[in-house]
Amino acid sequence: MDFTPNNAERPKTNQEPVVVFERIEKSFFGVKVLQGVSFGVGVGRIVGLVGENGAGKSTLMNLLGGNLQPDAGELRVNGHRYTPRNPKDARAAGIAFVHQELNLFSNLSIAENLFLTDFPLLGIGVPWIDRRALRSRAAELLRQVGLDHSPDTLVERLPAGERQLVEIAKALGAEARVILLDEPTTSLSSRECERLFALVTQLRDRGMALLYISHALGDVLRLCDDLVVLRDGERVGSGATKDFTHDRLVSMMVGRQLNQIYPERRAPIQTGSSESMASPDGGAVLQVDRISQPGIVRDLSFKLGAGEVLGISGLMGAGRSELARILFGLDPFASGEVRLSGELLTGSPRERIRRGLAFLTEDRRQEGLCMEASIADNLALVGLPANSRTPARFLDFTGIQSAVTRMREAVKLSAKATDGQAVRTLSGGNQQKVVLGKWLLMEPKVLLLDEPTRGIDVGAKFEIYQLIHQLADRGAGVLVISSEIEELMGICDRILVMRGGEITGEFRRDDFDRERILAAALHSSKA
């Protein structure tokens, strides 16, 4: 696509950015969520927008997208006042969105997804799709984002990363001058991220204006030209990225001096429980012995010690999540065996839960929570059988209630939320805490965590790390799967690296090294 016309349109004289937020005010039911926020996104710039959940990022986006209207202040695009009433207006103004949860239609082809709202027709007013034009134009867009798929491929056949690229191709197709990316990397492997970043930079150099929202501060600092920091609906900082450090950013977002992002990992001692003496190398709670499943994993063997926090690193699609699902009995495996504290682990998830296995999946919405159900119901779900009495498994409501309250405190769930409130209404961080609480309720022997902090703000992350450590200190084994190598290095005692369904590297806490871990994840192990 040729962007010169856009650049030509742009009044050369005034240096006003393409998009300008000016003293934007917005409140819901009397609660101010935006208080006089002002900033701009310049041509050929990538502006990073960071802030904790509830800081007002999503509200800003909805204003830009026309889903909401500001109470006060104004939006300007190319110097003209911009008052969108719906997503259509936004598109017309050349603003495109790339959302965290992908908005593609898996039952349609790539090409159809790209041009869903403006199909090329055989003639003006003739409601007949010009398939040939559709295909060629789609192919052109795919070339621009570096995807080598036939435009006719059904989207359901694409992995998450490539779907993300299709989303961007969609934005290009809509001739957008401003692209807003909201947490675009949450479902991407690090390699896919690199690809995305390359594309984003390239778009910037073509003179597009990009607004980049993410919790992955590392990415933000690497990618963006300017940063805007929000807290409680106010702009608490902005400027060129070079003026920011990771720590400064964090303390701005949280509003207090966070002396560390990862809690101190102290050797488990002072807890009173009997396993407390178990060192990372002590008796293994979980033994995985040469398990294989054709096409998924091969000859996987490892031990998880009592009180140990074991990290599993690797690219998306290395077989990490699949491993977890196999361990939890959701997917089958052909050969090998798994032992939980010495005894063979078999049967349905239900059976394994009874044996003390717990699993926090990577998909909070689909597999973690009943979004419409209340906080209490979600917290109690796993613990129900334990709290029911025969005959007829009557429920012990007092027991359940006390357990729920206990868990709420344990996971530091925000005090505002009432037990009866639907989890849908909670922030990502609090939702994740509910899932965690649900599992901690049963005092698991082994806890499997798949991307436990994805899309969660810094404060909540820290608390989740603490919970993980506390559990380990009580003698449980914790298995953490994460795409953020720093995270694993921050909280784990040991890290395994997977590639193509095999373990290609193992690192102890004392010889953690980002480069070598990444290397092991990318190509044959050097560990």
Partner 1 sequence: MSRIIGSEFFVLFLCLIAFAAFAPFTPGFVSTGNFENLLTACLPLLVLATGQTMVLITGGIDLSVTAIIGLSSVVGALVMGGEQGWLGGSPMAMPVAVAGMLATGALVGLFNGACIAWLRMPAFMVTLTTTMFFSGLAVWLAKKVVNAESIYHLPPAFLALGAQAWMALALAVFATFVAHVLLARTLLGRWLYAVGHNPRASLISGVPVAGVTVGAYVLSGIFAAMAAILLTARLETGSPNHGKALLLDVIGAAVIGGTSLFGGKGKVLWTVYGVLFLSLISNGLNLLNLSDFLITIIKGVVILVAALLDVWRTRFVRGS
Partner 2 sequence: MRPRPLRTRTFLTAMTAVIVMAALTGCGKPDAPGAATQPPAAVGQVKTIGVAFETLQTEFWVAGFDKLKAECAAKGITMLEGVADGDASKQFDQVKNFINRKVDGIIIVPKDGKTVIPMIKAANAANIPVVLYNRPADATDARHTAVAPDNFAITRETVTYLVSLAKKTGRKQKAMILMGDLSDVNAIGRRDGFEAAVKEAGDAVEVVARIPTDWNQEKALAGVQSAMQANPDIGLIFTSSDFMFPSIKSVLSNLGKWKKHNEPGHILLGGFDGDATAYQLMADGYVDATGVQDVYWEAEQAIQVILDAKAGRPAPVRIDDKGFAITQANLKEMESRMWGAVVAKNKK
Partner 3 sequence: MRASNSRPLLRLLDFAPVALFVAVLLVFGAMSDKFLTADNFTQILVQSSSTAVVAVGMTFVLLTAGVDLSVGAIMFVGAGIAGKMALAGQPLSLCVLTMLGVGLLGGAVNAVLVTRFKLVAFIATLATLYIGRGMGRWITQTRAMNLPDSFLALGSAKGLGVPLPLLIAGAVVLIAQWVLSMTPFGRQLYALGNNPDAARKAGLPTTRLLTAVYLVCGVCAGLGGLLALSQLGSVSPKFGELYEFDAITAAVLGGTSLFGGRGRVFPGTVLGAVLLKSIFNGLVMVQADPYLYPLITSSIIFGAVLIDSLRSHLMVRLGRRKIRVEAGAN
Residues making contact with partner 3 (CB under 8 A): 86-88, 91, 97, 99, 103-108, 112, 116-117, 119, 121, 127-129, 156, 159, 294-298, 317-319, 322, 334, 500-502
CA atoms lying within 13 Å on the CB side of residue 412 = 10
Residue 75 tokens, joined: 């939006």
Q: Are strands 343-344 and 297-305 parallel, antiparallel or unpaired?
A: unpaired
Select from 373, 386, 518, 519 the one that contacts partner 2 (CB under 8 A).
Answer: 373
Whole-number Å distance between alpha carbons of 73 and 280: 57
Q: Does 425 bind partner 1 (CB under 8 A)?
A: no
Closer CB to partner 1, 25 or 367, in the complex: 367
For residue 22, give Cα distances in angstroms to 70, 141, 178, 203, 314.
Answer: 10, 34, 17, 25, 43
Between 514-522 and 190-205, two packed helices, what is the crossing angle to 10 degrees? 100
Residue 479 tokens, joined: 């298995």
Number of residues that bind partner 2 (CB under 8 A): 9
State the binding string over 386-415 for partner 2 (x if CB under 8 A, else -).
Answer: ---------x-x---x--------------
Q: Which does 267 bind (CB under 5 to 8 A by kind): partner 2, partner 3, partner 1, none?
A: none
Q: Which of residues 227-286 bind partner 2 (CB under 8 A)?
A: none
Q: Are strands 209-213 and 178-182 parallel, antiparallel or unpaired?
A: parallel
* Start-to-end C-alpha separation, the chain: 45
- Smallest gap from Cβ 386 to partner 2, in A, equals 17
Select from 121, 154, 254, 330 the one that contacts partner 1 (CB under 8 A).
Answer: 330
- Smallest gap from Cβ 327 to partner 1, in A, equals 13
Listed residue (250, 258, 243, 245) closest to 229, CA to CA: 250
Whole-number Å distance between alpha carbons of 375 and 358: 19
Q: Are 96 and 178 in contact (CB under 8 A)?
A: yes
Closer CB to partner 2, 264 or 372, in the complex: 372
Strand order in 80-81's β-sheet?
31-41, 19-28, 72-77, 80-81
> DSSP secondary-structure letter at 501?
T
Number of residues that bind partner 1 (CB under 8 A): 30
Q: Which does 374 bind (CB under 5 to 8 A by kind): partner 2, partner 1, partner 3, none?
A: partner 2
Q: Which does 376 bind (CB under 5 to 8 A by kind): partner 2, partner 3, partner 1, none?
A: partner 2
Q: Does 347 bind partner 1 (CB under 8 A)?
A: no
Q: Does 27 bind partner 1 (CB under 8 A)?
A: no
Q: Which does 368 bind (CB under 5 to 8 A by kind): partner 2, partner 3, partner 1, none?
A: partner 1
Q: Does 148 bind partner 1 (CB under 8 A)?
A: no
Q: Does 377 bind partner 1 (CB under 8 A)?
A: yes
Whole-number Å distance between alpha carbons of 234 and 422: 28
Q: Where does this chain bind partner 2 (CB under 8 A)?
A: 372-374, 376-377, 395, 397, 401, 420
